[in-house]
Amino acid sequence: MKKEQWGRLKQELLKSVGQNNYSTWIEPLELADVSEGIATFFVPTSFVGNYVSQNFGDLIRYHVNTIAPDVRRIGFRVKERVPETADEPRAGRAEKPQQATVGETQVPTAPLDDRFTFETFVVGKPNELAHAAAKRVSEGGPVTFNPLFLYGGVGLGKTHLMHAIAWDLRTRRSELNVVYLSAEQFMYRFVQALRDKKMMDFKEMFRSVDVLMVDDVQFIAGKDSTQEEFFHTFNALVDQNKQIVISGDRAPGEIANLEDRIKSRLQCGLVVDLHPTDYELRLGILQSKVDQYQQTYPGLKIDSGVLEFLAHRISTNVRVLEGALTRLFAFASLVGHEITLELTQDCLADVLRASERKINIEEIQRQVAEHYNIRLSDMIGPKRLRSFARPRQVAMYLCKQLTSRSLPEIGRRFGGRDHTTVMHGVKRIDDLRQQDGQIAEDLELLRRALEA
Ligand code: ADP
Ligand code: MG
């Protein structure tokens, strides 16, 4: 992220927080630097830093993520004084990097986020296996699978689970030397060791770790000497029966430019994936965030239906879901209102629009055709047989419900039909939905599949 980009984001923030808040809190923020997933801002005083972090931290992170998706944390530093790390809202304190002492050398572990624990991790169908495996590792018993490889798309909880393992091991088995770091940090340290001619130390320190966790391993794909070193470290630890936990954005076999021997090594343990969230899990996560928030701000009121609405409409990933909720909290606390559906729609218009785009007409047509076992060409084509007409109407209905496309546009995409035909189809399904349990069930199933 560059300074000019931050300037532009500030303007976005102005829209979200209003002029008064903007002038007092946002305007003074100056981008200091972005590194290792932390965007740091200069603030005039630590009070401003704390206030901004508490009240706007997530909102800022949310905006920063639109241009710099790998920023995980927002930090504040008082200008021209000793650095001071305030962190994101609520949770506040990020832990200072820990130094685990090992003989002469030290293995610095990356900071752990104190919100990422097992207690705050909501378990549902899509992540229950990953959760169970992580739990098992965190018990610190004999190593049964090595490595544990967790993979899944962004924002599904990989990092959360890894931090949770680290926290748990620290309390349960404080004698163990648990090291968590990203693959990028691994590389960075490796390169530094090479440069400083400290390779022996580097090797020694990594080989004396009891539990090694490396996040986002896909990062080292294509980086040959880092891979090589990673491979040796990995083998040395496995040979000593030390637990390794790795995460990646896809299955080991699918990471391009990763050496085959590493792929096969990664596959020898337990490979589990975090599936995209489903509606129930999203609702559970939202509920749990609201509960946490209400412990600090008991005054917060949310109308019933708001969380359900969000769980339906925001299906991209948990990070976006959380960002939306935090923005909502910030907004509600500023204007001092309870959170209604209307306020939600206003305040989150851009997020809602963005996640809408994910479901498009083709996707709906494809899913519906598949569901009713008809050909796509028959769904779109002119045939008026009921066995085609009904699925077609279902698809039109879903297009109207789940996308922001207009009736004429939907008509065009269904073989150039008139908008009145679409309107009729939508109405027909809406009526049937009330009377016909089968149709209602089909719609629900399809909606879920589409939003998954
Ligand atoms: P990943 O590393 O897979 O990209 P993260 O672990 O960083 O994703 O998760 C993104 C955000 O979503 C974090 O704030 C995390 O706490 C939250 N999150 C993800 N899954 C869950 C869950 N099952 N319960 C509670 N919070 C979750
Ligand atoms: Mg992560």
Residue 187 inside a domain? The answer is: yes
Hey, what are 290's tokens?
Answer: 């609201």
Element (H, E) at 173: none
Ligand 1 pocket test target in 319, 320, 321 with most atoms within 8 Å of CB: 319
Q: Is 413 found in the same domain as 283?
A: no
Nearest CA to ligand 1 atom 14: 319
Residue 86 inside a domain? The answer is: no
Ligand that comes closest to the CA of residue 126: 1
Q: Is 142 found in the same domain as 257?
A: yes
Residue 132 inside a domain? The answer is: yes
Bigger pLDDT: 350 or 96?
350
CATH of residue 152: 3.40.50.300
Give the position, in ligand 1's atom list, of the atom nearest the Cα of 72.
7
Q: Is 372 found in the same domain as 308?
A: no
Q: Is 240 found in the same domain as 149?
A: yes
CATH of residue 13: 3.30.300.180
CA of residue 320 to ligand 1 center, whole Å: 10
Query: Residues 145-194: pLDDT tens digits?
Result: 899 999 998 899 999 999 999 999 999 998 999 999 999 999 999 999 99
Q: Which residues contact 83 (CB under 8 A, 6 or more apart)?
A: 77
Would the pLDDT of 290 be above 90?
A: yes
> Sign of torsion, CA 227 68 318 153?
negative
Q: Is 330 found in the same domain as 385?
A: no
Q: Write down the pTM of the prediction.
A: 0.64
Q: For residue 356, name the pLDDT band (cuts at 50, 70, 90).
A: low
Give the position, in ligand 1's atom list, of the atom nearest the Cα of 163.
6
* The domain boundary residue, chosen from 354, 385, 414: 354
Share of the chain above pLDDT 90, in %: 53
Q: Is 375 found in the same domain as 349?
A: no
Strand segments (E) across 116-252: 148-151, 178-182, 211-215, 243-248
Residue 283 inside a domain? The answer is: yes
Q: Is 121 found in the same domain as 192?
A: yes
Give how many domains the chain has, as a whole number. Answer: 4
Residue 90 inside a domain? The answer is: no
CATH of residue 333: 1.10.8.60
CA of residue 190 to ligand 2 center, whole Å: 21
Give the position, in ligand 1's atom list, of the atom nearest the Cα of 153.
3
Query: Residues 103-151: pLDDT tens digits?
Result: 334 467 888 998 999 999 999 999 999 999 999 999 887 888 899 999 9
Among residues 273, 272, 271, 269, the alpha carbon closest in space to that of 146 is found at 269
Residue 447 inside a domain? The answer is: yes
Round to whole Å and give the CA distance between 118 and 165: 8
Query: Residues 229-261: pLDDT tens digits?
Result: 999 999 999 999 999 999 999 899 889 899 999
Ligand that comes closest to the CA of residue 215: 2
Pocket lining for ligand 1, CB < 6 angstroms: 116, 120-122, 127, 152, 154-160, 285, 318-319, 322
The domain of 210 spans: 99-273
Bigger pLDDT: 271 or 452?
271
CA of residue 160 to ligand 1 center, whole Å: 5
Q: Is 325 found in the same domain as 368?
A: no
